[in-house]
Amino acid sequence: MTTAATASRGRVSIESVHKSFAGTEVLNGIDLQIGPGEVTVVLGPSGSGKSTLLRTINHLEKLDRGSIDIDGELVGYRRRAGKRGASLQELPEREVLRQRTRVGMVFQNFNLFPHLTVLENIIEAPVSALRQPKAQASSRALELLARVGLQGKAGAYPRQLSGGQQQRVAIARALALEPKVLLFDEPTSALDPELVNEVLDVIKDLARSGTTLIIVSHEIGFAREIADRIVFLDQGQVVDQGPPAHIFGPQAHPRTRAFLAKVL
């Protein structure tokens, strides 16, 4: 998967993004520029807007204001020239679904289909959304299972697997669409402590492969090890960002330092 094509794609540009729920501003003007292949870890207190930010990147949440584009293509909207200047018009559902195939998402609770086998979980989207032939999707799925260390589990059902194994299936499922960007929302928070590392190791392997990763995680040591950049979000704003040396150093924003002092 480390090809020129994967290394040169996955640029995410987030500009002035605002989002409220019931009058409460959850994202309060987010600006972030993420380069192709960059690994970004998002830290922040509970309720700071981390999940909402991830969900806007694949248009699971609509924006109130601002824009997100991936490799130059606006997410969820098209620009429309009008009498009073350009405005954004929401894309039709099928276009949103097409865009979503380019952004993989891995959730805290795995979200596998319980009635499908591991293999069926992985090939579902490639076959139904990308119209890949079943044989091709299956052989690719077996490669991905090997990559996440789960050879031999193709015929198992999710309930027969540990949480760590289920999460690795969820990662294989996300990779099956060859996404430009992979989003992880607290991928190890629901796992027993002894299963955390097997999932983090798979993510570390991906980090080296040139896929753009945006990871919400409270695993501070992991963040420090793999992040090109750490973003500290608080009350819907990017309070601080930089390489780990900045975030963990004396120049970090006082709110970053206060947060780290609580979690470290």
User: 121 or 188: whose CB is closer to ligand ADP?
Assistant: 188
In DSSP notation, 67-88 reads: EEEETTEESSEEEEEETTEEEE
Listed residue (135, 208, 217, 147) closest to 175, CA to CA: 147
Q: Which residues from 3-62 bind ligand ADP, rule CB under 6 A?
A: 21-22, 26, 44, 46-52
User: 48 or 237: whose CB is closer to ligand ADP?
Assistant: 48
Name the 3-class secondary structure at 69.
strand
Asked if residue 256 binds ligand ADP (CB under 6 A), the reply is no
CA distance 251 to 246: 6
Asked if residue 237 binds ligand ADP (CB under 6 A), the reply is no
Token couple for 250: 């004396």
Which listed option, ligand ADP, Mg ion, none, makes contact with residue 3 (CB within 5 to 8 Å by class)?
none
Asked if residue 217 binds Mg ion (CB under 5 A), the reply is no
Asked if residue 109 binds ligand ADP (CB under 6 A), the reply is no
Which listed option, ligand ADP, Mg ion, none, makes contact with residue 21 (CB within 5 to 8 Å by class)?
ligand ADP
Phi, then psi, of 15 in degrees rounded to 5: -130, 120
Pairing of strands 237-242, 229-234: antiparallel
Return the DSSP state at 118. H
CB of 27 closer than 8 Å to CB of 77: no
CB of 134 closer than 8 Å to CB of 123: yes
User: 50 or 140: whose CB is closer to ligand ADP?
Assistant: 50
CA distance 190 to 52: 19
Minimum distance from CB of 185 to Mg ion (Å)? Answer: 6
User: 42 or 226: whose CB is closer to ligand ADP?
Assistant: 42
User: 26 or 144: whose CB is closer to ligand ADP?
Assistant: 26
Minimum distance from CB of 258 to ligand ADP (Å)? Answer: 16
Pairing of strands 65-70, 12-21: antiparallel
User: 26 or 200: whose CB is closer to ligand ADP?
Assistant: 26
Site string for Mg ion, 41-60 (x = CB under 5 A): ---------xx---------
Site string for ligand ADP, 198-217 (x = CB under 6 A): --------------------
CB of 41 closer than 8 Å to CB of 230: yes
Listed residue (28, 16, 24, 12) closest to 234, CA to CA: 28
User: 55 or 246: whose CB is closer to Mg ion?
Assistant: 55
Q: Which residues from 62-101 bind Mg ion, rule CB under 5 A?
A: none
Place of tokens 């930010």: 53
Minimum distance from CB of 98 to ligand ADP (Å)? Answer: 24
Contacting residues toward Mg ion, per CB under 5 A: 50-51
Contacting residues toward ligand ADP, per CB under 6 A: 21-22, 26, 44, 46-52
